[in-house]
């Protein structure tokens, strides 16, 4: 076999130069990674060091000892020959350069090794072999992966003369994913997973159920042998390597139909950094994702390590199994209320590809192959504008997309653009064209494609590069949507109409937002002519310290002007109840004077164009009366912020002022000034009055009851509602805004039945509970 040796010339440290050349080396058998070091021409002569491993021209078993740190050899160019080449044989190259295979030796590398083992079991399940995978993080820092798949082959591999188990765990680029007969599609392509994990493990035990028997084999740092365990297995047990040939032990019998593989290994702490540890949240999260992608697969994760915790809310033993597959995945991912049901679209396509194929003689021959690509899509539209899209190739996540995602977007945009043009009169669309963002707004979708030997861009498998997949996915999307839009069913017709309405609404929103965007941005806080004249701005340009009070009515505005701190508190009065944006269109919302004023003053845009970083104020405080009308106004404002300026709520920058309901004046005898107590509910007032009576204190009667903010003088308003040291504010959370939106949908939405039920249930409400 002709192998390539990479010979790196390391120059004088002052020259800081290096070159590399390829040298063909013929070896007897086995994969050999060969690295040699020498001095560049003209460099100073240095003391020659003994090579790490002497080249013999034949493959040998890896050493069981830990590999020492790398040593570089420097030799004079006049004395350089093949005897100076260092040969790293078999798995020794993995231990020498682990970063080349797993990326790093910290926690990420440790998790990479674990996923290499798990993915082998997942690939079996992907091919329809086995429906259960168990992963156990043991208390002794070992990890065990069990599956019910076909089991690693135990017969002899003809080229090496070794059992299939030993080939899988000791030979790089060996496995069932190269010849093309064992896997139609696979998440692992490189064939180095199990062998790399074995090389980087202090101990690895494997058991295989196959042919009615249980077979076992153990390894120490990649070398096969036996451990003399006394009780529980441990990497510290005495180890005896095989001297001549390896032995796959028969350790038990099982029923003929029982198959599967169990692998337990202890990561080599001589390789991995001191702080490297298994990450339970990553493990649980990716296991759940995998179970969504393979319907019927049960993935059970158990963490037995003492003191282990998860940040993602997972119990330390969780089982993931989803019969609905990616349809359930869409429901899990969706961030909003559904406008359509979750549609499932599947299809296949074929293409021809010229690839190098490994023949039985070991030669690589360029061969033209017919490929098949399976497409599976689940999607639905929701009431929001956020797009949630996940794409996968053979269950490998492709977060940066690729040809499959491009095909999905192109097919969807082309079809819906045609539908909008055909329904232009009903949709009241002019010459404007919908764009990709209009179609994707509110869409939650999961796209999976399965194909043999996919091409990825780069080493991270984040972008699918196979060109033919684009057209296949686009055709499947167009065909399935054509069937859906042509369906005579009433529900299908209603839901497809909803999709077109939403897409057109998003288009109009985008156009309106583009037209208003520049006028909404703050260039000069005090001189921006586009700001409403009724805005009473503050003097400070410090956004983080500034506050915008949205005040109900002009009467409260007059008092608030005197009560505020004009340095950092701005005031914006609104006239009564603003538009209910729950039912209004985006254009109607932007045409409403009060809504437009709030968006303009805040200066950060609305909807998808909202940019929190350009907001002109650090806090928005809704200051309304403490009565039913005030609560109604506050709810309308919360709905506006929730639907069109949600990041303000998500970042905790929207507040509701809590003004008092009562003012109790405690009368003191003599020259001592009277004391003022504010209460915020009827129950609190009763407790205060009862306390005053018990202590024998007098108070002015009748108690002042504030019907609105306009009844307060400036000092009272400042003390109770505006002064930072004495006021009471309630931070608005997303849950509060969602509740407000639900109430408005119930009371003012298009669905009559829930509203009727609500009115009937509330008919018996006590009038005493209504604060008028």
Considering the segment(s) 99-320 as one domain, its CATH architecture is 2-Layer Sandwich (3.30)
**Pairing between β-strand 298-303 and β-strand 132-137 as defined by DSSP bridges:** parallel
Most confident residue range from 362-366, 566-570, 625-629: 566-570
CB neighbour class for 494 (10 Å; exposed up to 12, middle 13-18, buried from 19): exposed
What is the average pLDDT across 135-143?
A: 95
- Entry field: residues in the chain: 772
What is the average pLDDT across 344-350?
A: 97
CA distances to 283, 299, 373, 441, 749 from 326, in Å: 19, 16, 18, 20, 31
- What's 161-175 look like in SS3? CEEHHHHHHHCCCCC
Task: Measure the CA–CA gap between 551 and 573, rounded to whole angstroms.
Answer: 5
Sign of the alpha-carbon dihedral angle for 103, 109, 112, 117: positive
Q: Report the pLDDT value the prediction gives residue 735, as an integer from 0 to 100.
A: 79
Most confident residue range from 107-121, 353-367, 458-472, 656-670: 107-121
In the set 627, 650, 684, 738, the catalytic residue is 627
In the set 124, 209, 268, 625, the catalytic residue is 625
Contact by Cβ (8 Å): 678, 660: yes
Minimum mean pLDDT among 206-220, 281-295, 364-378, 615-629: which range?
Answer: 615-629
Q: Which residue has the tokens 């990674």?
A: 33
What is the average pLDDT across 291-313?
A: 88
Q: Comparing C-alpha atoms, which of 47, 50, 96 is closest to residue 69?
A: 96
First to last CA, the chain: 93
Query: For 145-189, how does the pLDDT look when each residue is reduced to its tens digit (9 = 90+)?
Result: 999 999 999 999 888 889 999 999 998 866 555 444 444 555 553
Q: Which residue has the tokens 């350790």?
A: 251
Query: For 474-513, how does the pLDDT look when each residue is reduced to its tens digit (9 = 90+)?
Result: 999 999 999 999 999 999 999 999 999 999 999 998 888 7
What is the average pLDDT across 18-39?
A: 36
Q: Is the pLDDT of residue 48 over 60?
A: no
Task: Measure the CA–CA gap between 341 and 216, rounded to whole angstroms.
Answer: 50
Query: For 241-292, how does the pLDDT look when each residue is reduced to its tens digit (9 = 90+)?
Result: 988 777 899 999 999 999 999 999 999 999 999 999 999 999 999 999 999 9
**Pairing between β-strand 388-393 and β-strand 86-89 as defined by DSSP bridges:** unpaired
Q: Which residue has the tokens 């009564």?
A: 576
Task: Measure the CA–CA gap between 184 and 30, rounded to whole angstroms.
Answer: 27
Tokens at 279, concatenated: 């990450």
Contact by Cβ (8 Å): 51, 22: no
What is the average pLDDT across 288-307?
A: 94
Helix 280-293 crosses helix 326-333 at what angle (to 10 degrees)? 130
What ranges do the domains of the chain cover?
A: 2-90, 99-320, 328-507, 521-659+731-761, 660-705
Q: Which residues of 95-108 are buried (b: 16+ CB within 10 A; e: fewer)?
A: bbebeebbeebebe
Tokens at 574, concatenated: 């609104």
Query: 279 or 76: whose pLDDT is higher?
Result: 279
Task: Measure the CA–CA gap between 709 and 667, rounded to whole angstroms.
Answer: 24
Contact by Cβ (8 Å): 551, 573: yes
Q: Report the pLDDT value the prediction gives residue 593, as an integer from 0 to 100.
A: 86
Q: Is the pLDDT of residue 382 over 50?
A: yes
Contact by Cβ (8 Å): 425, 407: no
Q: What is the DSSP string of 198-267?
A: HHTEEEEEEEEEETTEEEEEEEETTEEEEE--SSS--TTS-EEE-SSS---EEEEE--TT--EEEEEEEE
- Give the H or E element holding residue 548: strand 547-552
Tokens at 659, concatenated: 């003004």
CB neighbour class for 319 (10 Å; exposed up to 12, middle 13-18, buried from 19): middle
Q: Give the contacts of 281 (CB within 8 A, at least 6 positions apart).
A: 310, 311, 312, 314
Q: Report the pLDDT value the prediction gives residue 89, as an integer from 0 to 100.
A: 63
Query: What band does 77 get if pLDDT is binned at 50, 70 and 90?
Result: very low
Query: 651 or 431: whose pLDDT is higher?
Result: 651
Q: Is 552 a catalytic residue?
A: yes
In the set 144, 336, 492, 629, the catalytic residue is 629
Contact by Cβ (8 Å): 424, 498: no
Query: What band does 80 get if pLDDT is binned at 50, 70 and 90?
Result: low
Q: Give the contacts of 205 (CB within 8 A, at least 6 positions apart).
A: 216, 217, 218, 219, 233, 263, 264, 265
Query: For 620-645, how does the pLDDT look when each residue is reduced to its tens digit (9 = 90+)?
Result: 999 988 778 888 899 899 989 988 99
Task: Measure the CA–CA gap between 565 and 562, rounded to whole angstroms.
Answer: 8
Query: What band does 85 get if pLDDT is binned at 50, 70 and 90?
Result: low
Q: What is the DSSP letter of 531?
A: S
Q: Comparing C-alpha atoms, which of 600, 310, 355 is closest to residue 454?
A: 355
Share of the chain above pLDDT 90, in %: 50
Contact by Cβ (8 Å): 262, 275: no
Share of the chain above pLDDT 70, in %: 81
Query: 329 or 609: whose pLDDT is higher?
Result: 329
Q: Comparing C-alpha atoms, which of 122, 128, 120, 127 is closest to residue 152?
A: 120
Q: Give the contacts of 451 (CB within 8 A, at least 6 positions apart).
A: 185, 371, 372, 373, 374, 393, 394, 466, 469
Tokens at 281, concatenated: 């949240």
Q: Report the pLDDT value the prediction gives residue 88, as an integer from 0 to 100.
A: 59
In the set 552, 594, 736, 745, the catalytic residue is 552
Task: Provide CATH code, domain 521-659+731-761.
Answer: 3.40.50.670
Helix 468-485 crosses helix 490-520 at what angle (to 10 degrees)? 120
Task: Measure the CA–CA gap between 353 and 368, rounded to whole angstroms.
Answer: 6
Q: Report the pLDDT value the prediction gives residue 617, as an integer from 0 to 100.
A: 95
What are the residues facing 497 on neighbouring strands?
A: none
Fold of the 328-507 domain: Ribosomal Protein S5; domain 2 (3.30.230)
Query: For 736-749, how does the pLDDT look when each residue is reduced to its tens digit (9 = 90+)?
Result: 777 777 776 777 66
Q: pTM for the whole thing?
A: 0.59
- What's 620-661 look like in SS3? EEEECCCCHHHHHHHHHHHHHHHHHCHHHHHCCCEEEECCCC
Task: Measure the CA–CA gap between 222 and 204, rounded to whole angstroms.
Answer: 8
C-beta pairs of 356-360 under 8 Å, 24+ apart in sequence: 357/180, 358/178, 358/179
Q: What is the DSSP letter of 721?
A: I
CB neighbour class for 530 (10 Å; exposed up to 12, middle 13-18, buried from 19): middle
Contact by Cβ (8 Å): 366, 356: yes
CB neighbour class for 352 (10 Å; exposed up to 12, middle 13-18, buried from 19): exposed
Q: What is the DSSP letter of 674?
A: P
Q: Is the pLDDT of residue 9 over 50?
A: no
What is the average pLDDT across 606-632?
A: 88
Q: Is 537 a catalytic residue?
A: no
Q: Report the pLDDT value the prediction gives residue 516, as an integer from 0 to 100.
A: 64
Residue-averaged pLDDT of the chain: 82
Minimum mean pLDDT among 295-309, 582-596, 714-728: which range?
Answer: 582-596
Q: Where are the beta strands (DSSP E) in 308-427?
A: 317-320, 343-358, 364-381, 388-393, 396-397
CB neighbour class for 770 (10 Å; exposed up to 12, middle 13-18, buried from 19): exposed
Query: For 410-445, how does the pLDDT look when each residue is reduced to its tens digit (9 = 90+)?
Result: 999 999 999 999 988 888 887 788 999 999 999 999
Q: Is the pLDDT of residue 28 over 70?
A: no
Q: Comparing C-alpha atoms, which of 381, 352, 384, 383 is closest to residue 368?
A: 352
Query: 12 or 586: whose pLDDT is higher?
Result: 586
Query: 642 or 556: whose pLDDT is higher?
Result: 642
Q: CB-side exposure of 58: number of CA atoms within 13 Å?
A: 2
Tokens at 293, concatenated: 């992608």
């Amino acid at each position: 076999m002709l192998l390539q040796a990479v010979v790196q010339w390391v120059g004088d440290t002052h020259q800081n130069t290096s070159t590399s050349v390829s040298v063909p080396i013929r070896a007897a058998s086995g994969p050999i990674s060969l690295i040699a070091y020498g001095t560049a021409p003209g460099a100073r002569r240095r003391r020659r060091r003994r090579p790490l491993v002497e080249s013999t021209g034949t493959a040998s078993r890896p050493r069981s000892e830990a590999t020492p740190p790398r040593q570089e050899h420097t030799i004079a160019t006049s004395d350089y020959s093949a005897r100076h080449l260092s040969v790293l044989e078999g798995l020794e190259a993995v231990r020498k350069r682990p970063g080349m295979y797993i990326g790093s030796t910290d926690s990420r590398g440790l998790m990479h090794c674990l996923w290499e083992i798990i993915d082998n079991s997942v690939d079996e399940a992907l091919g329809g072999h086995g429906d259960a995978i168990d992963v156990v993080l043991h208390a002794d820092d070992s990890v065990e992966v069990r599956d019910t798949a076909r089991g690693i082959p135990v017969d002899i591999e003809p080229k090496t003369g070794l059992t299939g188990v030993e080939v899988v765990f000791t030979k790089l680029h060996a496995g069932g994913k190269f010849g093309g007969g064992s896997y139609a599609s696979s998440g692992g392509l490189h064939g180095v997973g199990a062998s790399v994990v074995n090389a980087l493990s202090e101990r690895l035990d494997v058991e295989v159920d196959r042919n009615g028997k249980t077979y076992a084999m153990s390894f120490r740092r990649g070398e096969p042998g036996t451990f003399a365990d006394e009780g529980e297995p441990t990497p510290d047990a005495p180890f005896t390597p095989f001297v001549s040939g390896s032995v796959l032990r028969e350790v038990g019998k099982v029923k003929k139909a029982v198959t599967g593989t169990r692998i337990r290994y202890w990561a080599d702490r001589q390789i991995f950094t001191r702080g490297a540890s298994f990450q339970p949240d990553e493990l649980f999260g990716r296991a759940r994702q995998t179970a969504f992608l393979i319907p019927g697969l049960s993935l059970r994760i158990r963490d037995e390590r003492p003191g282990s915790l998860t940040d993602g809310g997972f119990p330390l033993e969780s089982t993931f199994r989803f019969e609905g597959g990616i349809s359930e995945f869409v429901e899990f991912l969706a961030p909003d209320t559904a406008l359509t049901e979750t549609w499932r679209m599947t299809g296949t396509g074929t293409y021809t590809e010229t690839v190098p194929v490994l023949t039985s003689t070991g030669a690589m021959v360029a061969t033209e192959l017919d490929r098949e690509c399976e497409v599976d899509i689940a999607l639905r539209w929701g009431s929001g504008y956020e797009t949630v899209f996940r794409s996968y190739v053979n269950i490998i996540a492709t977060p940066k997309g690729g040809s499959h995602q491009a095909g999905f977007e192109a097919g969807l945009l082309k079809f819906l653009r045609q539908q909008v043009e055909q329904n232009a009169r009903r949709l009241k669309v002019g010459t404007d064209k919908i764009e990709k963002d209009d179609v994707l707004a509110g869409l939650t979708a999961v796209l999976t494609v399965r194909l043999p030997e996919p091409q990825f861009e780069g080493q991270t498998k984040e972008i699918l590069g196979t060109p033919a997949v684009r057209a296949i996915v686009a055709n499947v999307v167009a065909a399935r949507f054509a069937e859906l839009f042509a369906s005579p069913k009433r529900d299908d017709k209603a839901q497809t109409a909803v999709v077109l309405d939403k897409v057109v609404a998003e288009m109009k929103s985008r156009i309106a937002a583009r037209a208003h965007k520049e006028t909404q941005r703050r260039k000069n806080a005090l001189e921006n002519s586009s700001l409403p004249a009724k805005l009473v701005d503050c003097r400070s340009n410090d956004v983080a310290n500034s506050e915008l009070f949205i005040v109900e009515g002009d009467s409260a505005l007059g008092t608030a002007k005197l009560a505020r701190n004009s340095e950092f508190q701005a005031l914006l009065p609104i006239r009564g109840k603003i538009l209910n944006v729950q039912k209004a269109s985006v254009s109607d919302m932007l045409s409403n004077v009060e809504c437009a004023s709030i968006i303009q003053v805040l200066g950060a845009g609305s909807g998808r164009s909202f940019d929190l970083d350009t907001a002109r104020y650090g806090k928005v405080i809704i200051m309304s009366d403490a009565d039913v009308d005030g609560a109604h106004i506050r709810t309308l404002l919360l709905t506006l912020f929730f639907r069109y300026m949600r990041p303000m709520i998500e970042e905790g920058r929207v507040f509701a002022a809590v003004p008092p309901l009562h003012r109790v004046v405690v009368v003191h005898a003599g020259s001592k000034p009277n004391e003022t107590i504010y209460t915020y509910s009827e129950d609190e007032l009763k407790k205060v009055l009862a306390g005053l009576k018990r202590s024998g204190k007098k108070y002015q009667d009748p108690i002042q009851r504030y019907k609105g903010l306009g009844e307060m003088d400036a000092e009272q308003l400042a003390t109770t509602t505006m002064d930072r040291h004495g006021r009471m504010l309630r931070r608005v959370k997303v849950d509060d805004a969602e509740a407000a939106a639900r109430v408005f949908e119930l009371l003012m939405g298009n669905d009559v039945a829930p509203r009727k039920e609500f009115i009937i249930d509330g008919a018996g409400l006590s009038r005493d509970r209504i604060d008028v």
